[in-house]
Amino acid sequence: MTAEADSTGARGQANPPRPPLAEGDVARIRQDFPLLHTELRGGKPLVYLDNASTTQRPRAVVDAVDEYYLHHNANIHRGVHQLSQAATDAYERAREAVRRFVNAQLTGEIVFTRGTTESINLIAQTFGRTRIGPGDEVLVSEMEHHSNIVPWQMLCQERGARVRPIPVTDAGEISLEEYGRLFNEKTKLVAVIHVSNALGTVNPVKHMIDTAHAHGVPVVVDGAQSAAHLPVDVQDLDCDFYACSGHKMCGPTGIGVLYGKAEHLEAMPPYQGGGDMILSVSFGKTVYNTFPHKFEAGTPDIAGAIGLGAAVEYLESIGMEPIAAYERALTRYGTQLLASMDGVRLIGTAHDKAPVFSFCMACASPDAIGQVLDEEGIAVRTGHHCAQPLMERFHIPGTARASLAFYNTRQELDALAEALNRVKAAFP
């Protein structure tokens, strides 16, 4: 176990609950995000509603990355000179910040990757290869992002196993009854998204993990869409793995996180070979480094990790509980607003949702909707959202998707509704 992994952590005594964000709080928060004050299309204010794709970055994150490049730029872990030691310290402080943010027990349980996609591929090609053989089954929900489907398909094709889909209801919720029926002696792993990027559904992952563990089955949680919206406690969830991406939680692109239970990471073989993931190399034998370093071959995205550390500290300064409460209120408001509009069909009406609104309009295709909204300065996503099996489940090719963050407002949802009326006028 590494020195970093010797640092244990648990939530301290509960602080008094913090109230949800108020309008004044959000107005102040918005000042931290320069890009939110951009004007487009001849002076129209930007309404940024594409946060499920990528969030904006606060000044604190940009400043942290600049600080590294301007004052501490050096490689890590290998140098004895001052710059290298400063860079190493900043990189490992970021790892500890992420550990605290997700409440991992050990700092060494935090592996830096390029993002959720690489994290899941790492699990599939290491943990999965040692666990899954001919005839085995991997349970994956119908609402998964492609990055939590394709790696398991690739592994199963190679190993003679198969992926079994967990059904989704018409409301866009996982059918827990059907989920429970899928388990048998061939079930070797469950991979499930915490929050659907296409629907906003918040899945009951703790219940699903308990069910899987009762059958002796480990669980991989895709947390790409949950880390910036909900308090995450991997010890409370008891998940075996949890993956997330920096750029979806106010951090830089190209940096991500894989949390894995220590016993899994210790048993797993390396994902890639190279520098820093070794203790010694000879032509006769290579001795691998301990986790997390044995999974971080080569020079990592040092600036990205430092920026991610600044991002989670920024989110913590606001508070994940206030963020979640504010976003729940935004979700209720947006759902009522869009559901009341003639010609707008919401896709995904789960009881528990994050602020993601996927919708279709009878008068126009998703791409046409997106183009009209862009003319009004409103940024949304259109298409299948890398969730084609889910689109097939709802018998549609794709949707328009408005996805919000804690810096969005009711006024921006009102602007979206007004722009959708312009869509109806443009395509009578």
Contact (CB, 8 A) for 359 and 345: yes
**Count of CB atoms situated within 10 Å of the CB of 54:** 16
Rounded Cα–Cα distance for residues 179 and 182 (Å): 5
**Which of 323, 317, 325 lies closest to 407 in space, CA to CA?**
323
Question: How far, in Å, CA of 254 to CA of 116, rounded?
Answer: 10
Residue 241 · residue 219 · CB < 8 Å: yes
Told to judge if 363 belongs to the known catalytic residues of this protein, a careful annotator would answer no
Which residues touch 186 (CB under 8 Å, ≥6 apart)?
135, 136, 137
Residue 400 to residue 342: CA distance in whole angstroms: 16
Give the containing element (helix H, strand E) for 77. Answer: none
How far is the C-alpha of 199 from the C-alpha of 201, rounded, in Å? 5
- Bridge pairing between strands 256-260 and 278-281: unpaired
Tell me how far CA of residue 2 lies from CA of 81, 106, 279, in angstroms: 22, 10, 12
Question: 152: which 2 tokens?
Answer: 């398991």
- Residue 107 corresponds to which tokens in the numbers above? 């700092």
Instruction: Kindly report the backbone phi and psi dihedral angles of residue 186, in degrees, each rounded to the nearest multiple of 5, phi listed first.
Output: -90, -15
Q: Which candidate in 239, 244, 360, 386 is catalytic?
A: 386
Q: φ, ψ for residue 244 (rounded to 5)?
A: -150, 170
> What type of residue sits at position 145?
H
Q: Give the Cα separation of 160 and 261 in Å (integer).
A: 27
Question: What residue type is assigned to position 229 of the chain?
Answer: H
Give the residue among 160, 165, 163, 162 at the shortest CA–CA distance from 133: 160
**303 closest CA partner among 255, 258, 257:** 255
**Cβ atoms 115, 254 nearer than 8 A:** yes
Catalytic residue annotation: 386
